[in-house]
Amino acid sequence: MMILTLTADLTGVTDLRPDDTPENAFWYTFKVQCTSCREVHPNFVNVSRFRESSATIKEPPVSYKQGSPPTRQKVIEFDCRGLEFVEFKPEGDWLATGVDSGSKFTTIDLTEGEWFDYDEKAGEEVSIKDLKWEIRRN
């Protein structure tokens, strides 16, 4: 079993999670290493919890909660057969919720390593910064 963890600085938002539903499957993008020959595949590969592959996603993703200071939290868990994930790319749409306002933020793009927006209900800037992804054995 492997888990993808995240540490991030969330300001004004919480419950950061991939937009991952049966109607709109999120494709987790990883660099993969063969466990037999230890060769790293040169291209990133995609895994969805709604499609069968060599890696199975056991349960839906866990929302990342805002905290001070930021803490490492599990995002998703994988059962991998014959491969290991060695790097994660946060491609795809992510969701978050305003801490005080309850505003829904959709189509969050984390590929640049940070995200900024404005919460109209709260009257404040919101952000996601200092993203640190880690893949660990569980």
Q: Which distant-in-sequence residues (6+ apart) come within 8 Å of 117 by Cβ? A: 105, 108, 125, 126, 127
Given strand 28-34, what is the order of strands in its sheet?
Answer: 40-47, 28-34, 83-89
- Tens digit of each residue's pLDDT (9 = 90 or more) over 5-30: 999 999 999 999 999 988 888 999 99
pLDDT confidence bin for 134, thresholds 50/70/90? very high
What is the rounded average pLDDT for all residues in the chain?
91
pLDDT on residue 43 = 85
Note the pTM of the prediction, 2 decimals.
0.88
Give the side-chain half-sphere CA count within 13 A for 64: 28
